[in-house]
Amino acid sequence: MYAVIKTGGKQYRVTVGEKLKVEQIPADVDSQITIDQVFMVGEGESVKIGTPVVAGATVTATVVSHGRHDKVKIFKMRRRKHYQKHQGHRQNYTELRIEAITA
């Protein structure tokens, strides 16, 4: 069984037992969270598509850890103008383990 969920402004296709890094969620480690924005639930050949969400469908996940992604380096330069700018960014994330999908 799989589901398409929305969290942090992005959509993810998840299955039970999968680990997933999403935008940071304010929850404690080892706590259970419930995601109710489920756009699609599928099992084998049967698929339920929501308008926009599937009524009564939820995904239960456990918070595994919090962390930061690798650094993304930003470099801007204007040729012949003696302009260079260096910048970096590290995005925070929350790692989830999908426990159950209920439709």
Can you give the pLDDT at residue 103? 86
The C-alpha atoms of residue 30 and residue 62 are separated, in whole angstroms, by 6
pLDDT in tens, 11-65: 999 999 999 999 999 999 999 999 999 999 999 899 999 999 999 999 999 999 9
Residues in the chain: 103
Asked whether the predicted pLDDT for residue 74 surpasses 90, the reply is yes
The C-alpha atoms of residue 88 and residue 33 are separated, in whole angstroms, by 31
Record the pTM.
Answer: 0.86
- Non-local (6+) Cβ contacts of 1 within 8 A are 15, 16, 41, 42, 43, 101, 103
pLDDT in tens, 92-102: 999 999 999 99
Can you give the pLDDT at residue 16? 96
Our count of domains for the chain comes to 1
Residue 51 lies in domain: 2-102
